[in-house]
Each structure stands twice: as C-alpha cells, then as structure tokens.
Amino acid sequence: MARIATTETGLYRIPLPITLSDSTHGEIAAFELITCRIRDADGAEGVGYTYTVGRNGGSVADILAREIPALIEGREADDTEAIWNHVWWALHYGGRGGPVVLALSALDIALWDLKARRAKLPLFRLLGGFDARVPCYAGGIDLDLSVDALLEQTDDNLAKGFRAIKMKVGRPDLKSDIARVSAMRQHLGDGFPLMADANMKWTVEEAIRAACAFVPYDLTWLEEPIIPDDVAGHARIMQAGGVPIAAGENLRSLWEFKNYIAGGAVSYPEPDVTNCGGVTAFMKIARLAEAFNLPVTSHGAHDITVHLLAACPNRSYLEAHGFGLDKYIEHPLVLKDGLALAPDRPGHGIGFDWKGLAKLAP
C-alpha cells in the first residue's frame, strides 16, 4: 500500500449542444463537472468525478479543495472503507447530504480507481466481476420535444446501438403524456424496453392516475413519479399504479435506500455513484437490493457505473446519460448489441482531456 500524498480539485462548466429541460429542473444549458485527482506517495493517480445540472458545483469543489485534503492526506490509499467513514463523520454535522456527499462520492471514486490501477485490474474485476456486458438504455432529456422530434431522437439512439429507451413525462396535461408514450410504443413495437421518467412532477394521486393510464403501454418502469422524501407515497403508487417504479437518483445514502427497499416503495433501486457516496456506497446499495431480490439500475456517470453493474448479479439496465462528456474523455462507452462493455483497462479506464477541460474552467 502507499499513502495519499496530494489531492487536486477541478471545476468545469460543460455546455450542452442544445438547452434541455424536464418537468422540475427547468432549462439545463450546461452541466458542472467536478473532478478529484488523488496521488499516492509512489506517484500513482486515481481520478473521480461528480456533476450537477448547472448549480452548486462551486460548493462541491470547495469541500473537495478545502475540507477533504486535511482529512485524508497521509492515510493508506487502499483503506477505502476507513477513509469513507472518516470523511462521512467528519463532515456529517455540517452537511449530511447535498454538496458534502457529492464531494465524498468523487473522492471515493478516485480512491477505487487508484486501488484498481495499482492492482492492474479493471474496476469491475476488483469488485468481484460478474459479466462485463451490461444491458444499457439511452436516457433522453426530451420533455419539450415535439412528437416528431422525439421519434427522430429515438431513431438516432437506435442507430447508435441502444436497445432500450427512456423518455420524459410530466407535461402539464396527462393527455399529452399518454399521447407521447403511445407514439413511442407504436414506434418501437411491442416488447421493446421503454421507460418513462417524471422527475418528481406529481402528487401521489396524480402519479397513480398516470401509472394506471400507462399500463397498456407496457413500461419497463415509471421513474421518480413523486418527490424522493415520500417513501410511503411511493409504496402507495407501487400498490395501486400497476407499473414498476424506479427511484433513487435523489437519495444520498445507503440508509435512505434501506427505507425504500424495506418499505416496498421501489421495484428498481437507482443509485447514482456520483451522489450516493461513491463506489463504496453504490455496491452496498446493490447488495442490499440483491438481498431483497430486486434488480438494481443506475443513474448518470455511465463510464464508471458500467464497472459497478458488471460486478452485480442483480444488475438490470445501465443508463447512458445525455450529457456531453464524451468529447472530453479518451475512450467513450462502447455498445454492442444493446450491451455496454466494461473496459479491460486498469481502474475505471476514463482518461480525461485535461487541456480541453481547462478551457471550460469558470
């Protein structure tokens, strides 16, 4: 083992080719990428990152740059569990979730990348290894697209090799949502995996009504129908809606997932490695889901998460997110026959274009 010598934080604002929107976050013109680079005493480096949809990236970067170095420098880099707990409790009182857990996630990803690189193993093999081929879907941010534009985007994703698609719902009137889901089902054909994401738009009763209306269109799942704070509401939708429910991208700890899973409030637990506490927490959430015989899916950060799901026997679909990070990494995600392939390179295998990113620093 080698001790942690230095940490380095980066903050970059990456513009999107077109402004996107969903039912709750408003217009998204750019996303913020916050990176964490850890070097050990031997000079080996691990890289982690987290992101926002345009706000609060500065606070995450500030925690990584000001608070975390003093907590970790000089510690054994391989002690990921000990470091995770030390940082979690050291920062707990001033921020149990939010920017603190996003910063911890980036740090933890960097430490696991460093550990796998030192072991000369791809991350998914270090985590146990199950199957390097992971079912993958294209996650569209397309609520305000016309039906024709929605179907055109879908055809583009099919041409890229995706064999599962997620669309947005949560428009002002349910009739419009139903028409769009119906058009997608007709376009894709029976049996094609189709998911719908409401981004927390509805009340419980509205969500039940929408879920019941979507039953004829055979959704793989309905995602985030209501606010993440309402566990009992999700359970009611599960019981009355007739459609499987995915949730978790806005949950920030293993214990929040425990409440959902034990409460019968989710069909597809959906952690995001960049905001749930990193690799350490993601794998615990996946194992918890496995103990309840639930399939685990993912949100965002597909370049990292493909490794995590490749180590899970209960994995379902990897989400390929719609942000433009591919322009700034050396090896974008590879798809084959609808499956994402976890790379065999040591660590998570992401090589950032640091010079290109430097031009996007605020």
Q: Which of 115, 166, 168, 321 is catalytic?
A: 168
* b (16+ CB within 10 A) / e for 112-126: bbbbbbbeebbbbbb
Q: How far apart are CA 108 and CA 193, in angstroms?
A: 32
Can you tell me whether residue 314 is helix, strand or coil?
Answer: coil
Q: Which of 115, 299, 321, 348 is catalytic?
A: 299
Largest CA distance in the chain: 61
Q: How far apart are CA 121 and CA 109, in angstroms?
A: 15
CB 335 within 8 A of CB 153: no
Q: How far apart are CA 37 and CA 109, in angstroms?
A: 10
Q: Name the nearest CA neighbour of 49 among 39, 41, 40, 38.
A: 38
Counting DSSP H helices and E strands in the chain, the numbers are 13, 12
Q: Name the nearest CA neighbour of 39 among 15, 69, 61, 7.
A: 7
Q: How far apart are CA 202 and CA 181, in angstroms?
A: 17
Annotation marks residue 331 as catalytic = no
First to last CA, the chain: 36
CB 135 within 8 A of CB 317: yes
Q: Name the nearest CA neighbour of 233 among 258, 200, 194.
A: 200
Q: How far apart are CA 305 and CA 282, in angstroms?
A: 9
CB 4 within 8 A of CB 77: yes
Annotation marks residue 299 as catalytic = yes
Q: How far apart are CA 261 and CA 313, in angstroms?
A: 18
Q: Which residues are catalytic?
A: 168, 299
